[in-house]
């Protein structure tokens, strides 16, 4: 017995050391690679704190803000919480697997926990996803926290863990509305299974629901005061219906998950879920519900519209636990394949050793050349503003975020209806500046918003090591906004970095 405890202790120490090394490596990569447009956009959220936003709940902004308090307004500051939360979440999921799939003598099986941890981090969704700050980063952590609490409860843990379940569910909904899907699966288990109904006779699950409601109430109130903008945007997707293209959407959904789960890990996910179906204990049924409920919604959505590849990552923690049921001889090959794929993509994002065209290089499309583009258009715009700071304008929210981050000491004006929900200063009508647009935008700027003052400039490229990501042109314009017609957000006074 003592030998077993000693081995378990040393095993956890080794796991902690390995996780620390991986986390440090991820932090270095996070500090090195440029921001994606969505990250730069979420940065503006962090600089304009609110209880909700048009696209998502506010947790991603809070996490960025926390990282910026430590590492400043830098790529590392924006992304710091991703690797840290992934490290803690990995340990929680490993503990959950060890508690659930115990050894014959009843002790936690730490070998299962280690395998679960390796498989989770071998997916591209985690290996790459945690160095890019998105709402999914916090979502996956809170899903993991909820599953860890439930696994301990099902293993005979203290009943107060239901409060942790409620906290995780509520904060997960504050991260992304899709948290409702695994929470719905948990509710299905509570009301539809004998083990779940036994819990409903006690007050703790009901108290967990109260904790969840308290956590999400600020988001609900924010939506109520903003015409239910966030709920309408997400809920409106349920009405999509294009059965003629369903086969295309379904194949894209499958292909996206094979890729994000690193190929062989996806096979382990499927095999684990099949074995989960055959297992009869209460936690197996609970895991199955938290997997099948989201997948049913995504499959239904794929009958009418494209399912973004990152949406189903909400089931990855549960699928990884299910994969712990299956231990084929080649499972380590799945881990190695996922790790190699992750390192190759990280290397391409950081150093671009392969001259890949933009159509096949997602790192070039998302990260390539933003700093150089911002400096080029900043210098070109300054030519028409003798002795004054230039004003850059754009109609694209991601482009506005990138310019606000990389174009130092430059006023950036973002023009799009979504800025109506931001508590940031508004530029005066009649303000002049340079409108930056992609070359492929052939339509003239909205004449109700912009008065074009001259011809477009020569195209300027966003490129990385000679590979072109996109071409842009600049137009001299004057804002011609009218009250109630268009909302213009000024991204300059809060997010512009100072050298």
Summarised one tens digit per residue, pLDDT across range 13-33 is: 777 888 899 999 999 999 999
Token pair, residue 450, equals: 């912009």
pTM: 0.92
| CA–CA gap between residue 371 and residue 454 (Å, rounded) | 26
What is the per-residue pLDDT for 20? Answer: 92
What is the per-residue pLDDT for 235? Answer: 67
At residue 391, what are phi and psi to the nearest 5 degrees?
-115, 125
* Burial 76-107, CB ≥16 within 10 A → b, else e: bbbbbbbbbbbbebbbbbbbbbbbbbeeeeee
What is the per-residue pLDDT for 226? Answer: 82
Token pair, residue 295, equals: 């997948």
365 Cβ partners below 8 Å, 6+ apart?
A: 358, 469
* Domain locations along the chain: 1-351, 367-494
What is the per-residue pLDDT for 2? Answer: 56
What is the per-residue pLDDT for 388? Answer: 67
- Alpha carbon distances (Å) from 376 to 137, 285, 403, 459: 32, 57, 11, 11
What is the per-residue pLDDT for 387? Answer: 59
CA-only gyration radius of the chain, Å: 24
Token pair, residue 231, equals: 């709920």
DSSP per-residue codes, 181-249: HHHHHHHHHHHHSHHHHHHHTSSHHHHHHHHHHHHHHHHHHHHHTTTTHHHHHHHGGGG---GGGHHHH
Low-confidence ranges of the chain (pLDDT < 50): 1, 483-499
What is the per-residue pLDDT for 131? Answer: 94
What is the per-residue pLDDT for 488? Answer: 38
> Closest by alpha carbon to 169, among 182, 155, 158, 160?
182
| CA–CA gap between residue 317 and residue 339 (Å, rounded) | 17
Helix (H), strand (E) at residue 60: helix 59-71
Task: For residue range 222-231, list pLDDT tens digits in order.
Answer: 989 887 777 7
């Amino acid at each position: 017995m003592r030998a077993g405890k000693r081995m378990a202790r040393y095993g956890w120490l080794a796991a902690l050391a390995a996780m620390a090394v991986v986390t440090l490596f991820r932090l270095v990569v996070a500090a090195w690679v440029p921001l994606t447009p969505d990250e730069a956009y979420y940065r503006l959220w962090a600089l304009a704190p609110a209880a909700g936003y048009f696209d998502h709940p506010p947790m991603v902004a809070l996490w960025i803000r926390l990282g910026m308090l430590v590492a400043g307004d830098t790529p590392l500051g924006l992304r710091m919480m991703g690797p840290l939360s992934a490290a803690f979440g990995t340990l929680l999921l490993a503990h959950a697997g060890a508690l659930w799939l115990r050894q014959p003598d009843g002790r936690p099986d730490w070998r299962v926990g280690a395998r679960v941890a390796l498989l989770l981090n071998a997916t591209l969704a985690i290996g790459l996803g945690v160095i890019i700050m998105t709402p999914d980063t916090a979502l996956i952590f809170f899903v993991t926290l909820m599953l860890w609490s439930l696994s301990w409860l099902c293993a005979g843990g203290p009943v107060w863990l239901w409060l942790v379940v409620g906290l995780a569910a509520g904060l997960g909904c504050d991260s992304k509305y899709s948290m409702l899907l695994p929470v719905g699966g948990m509710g299905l288990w509570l009301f539809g299974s004998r083990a779940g109904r036994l819990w409903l006779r006690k007050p703790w699950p009901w108290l967990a629901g109260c904790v969840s409601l308290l956590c999400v109430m600020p988001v609900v109130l924010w939506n109520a005061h903003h015409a239910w903008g966030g709920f309408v945007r997400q809920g409106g997707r349920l009405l999509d219906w294009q059965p003629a293209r369903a086969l295309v959407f379904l194949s894209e959904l499958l292909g996206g998950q094979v890729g994000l789960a690193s190929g062989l890990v996806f096979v382990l996910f499927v095999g684990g879920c099949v074995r989960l179906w055959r297992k009869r204990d209460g936690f197996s049924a609970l895991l199955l519900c938290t997997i099948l409920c989201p997948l049913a919604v995504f499959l239904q959505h794929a009958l009418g519209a494209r399912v973004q590849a990152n949406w189903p990552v909400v089931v990855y923690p549960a699928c990884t636990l299910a994969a712990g049921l299956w231990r084929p001889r080649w499972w380590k090959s799945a881990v190695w394949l996922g790790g190699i794929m992750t390192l190759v993509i990280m290397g391409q994002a950081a150093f671009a050793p392969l001259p890949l065209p933009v159509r096949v290089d997602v790192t070039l499309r998302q990260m390539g050349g933003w700093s150089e583009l911002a400096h080029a258009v900043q210098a070109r715009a300054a030519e028409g503003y003798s002795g004054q700071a230039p004003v850059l304008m754009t109609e694209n929210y991601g482009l506005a975020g990138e310019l606000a981050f990389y174009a130092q000491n430059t006023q950036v004006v973002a023009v799009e209806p979504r800025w109506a929900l931001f508590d940031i200063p508004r530029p005066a009508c009649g303000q002049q500046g340079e409108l930056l647009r992609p070359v492929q935008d052939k339509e003239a700027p909205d004449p109700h918003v912009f008065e074009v003052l001259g011809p477009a400039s020569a195209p300027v490229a966003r490129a990385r090591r000679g590979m072109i990501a996109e071409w842009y042109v600049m137009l001299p314009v004057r804002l011609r906004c009218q009250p109630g017609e268009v909302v213009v957000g000024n991204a300059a006074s809060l997010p512009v970095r100072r050298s």
